[in-house]
Amino acid sequence: MADWARDEFLRRYATSPIHVPRLERFLATYEAGEQDDSFCHRFIAWDRASSDGEAARIVTEILSAGDSAGRITRLSDAAVKGAIRWMSEARWLSVHQRARVLRERLMAADEESVAEFVRFLEMADTSEDAVFTAAAQSMTGPLSREVGRFP
């Protein structure tokens, strides 16, 4: 019975059969030391609470890809939940642009920039809408003229 959440997680977020091993590595990182698929339960609940049906799936794609070497870094639960909110609510950007900002901010070479973005994501769950929107807009930076490109 405990495996239902893991099975549900893989069914919901694997975009193809080849994507399953990547999600399994992601879950190995995020569920390390946990029992009964706790992370899967929480993640599915965050997805259900989101106003965007695709936000959580996109977040799994970005986080499960890891860094340039394929290493997956575990973010706090608050940061993962904040990433789902980011994908769901930063609607002044296209979905592609939101995904790009999320990926680039989490994979930046500058560790302080990454830490600042993670702190923003961690506070997203407790932020009022106006505070979240203002902080999120400051995190996007100016768009360049090329579609989907950020300076």
SS (H, E, C) the chain: CCCHHHHHHHHHHCCCCCHHHHHHHHHHHHCCCCCCCHHHHHHHHHHHHCCCCCHHHHHHHHHHHCCCCCCCCCCCHHHHHHHHHHHHHCCCCCHHHHHHHHHHHHCCCCHHHHHHHHHHHHHHHHCCHHHHHHHHHHHHCCCCCCCCCCC
User: Residue 142: enclosing H or E segment and its boundaries?
Assistant: none
Question: Is 149 domain-assigned?
Answer: no
Question: Is 145 domain-assigned?
Answer: no
Q: How far is CA 43 from the centre of its chain?
A: 10
- DSSP assigned state of 74: P
Question: Is 148 domain-assigned?
Answer: no
Total domains, the chain: 1
Question: Is 146 domain-assigned?
Answer: no
Which residue segment(s) compose the domain that 8 sits in? 4-140
The pTM of the whole model exceeds 0.75: yes
The tens digit of pLDDT for each residue in 4-26 reads 888 999 999 998 888 899 999 99
Question: Is 97 domain-assigned?
Answer: yes
Q: Rounded mean pLDDT of 141-146? A: 46
Name which of 43-47, 116-120, 146-150 the model is least confident about. Answer: 146-150
Question: Is 99 domain-assigned?
Answer: yes
Place of tokens 């390390």: 32
pLDDT-derived band at 147 (thresholds 50, 70, 90) equals very low
Question: Is 147 domain-assigned?
Answer: no
Question: Is 76 domain-assigned?
Answer: yes
pLDDT-derived band at 2 (thresholds 50, 70, 90) equals low
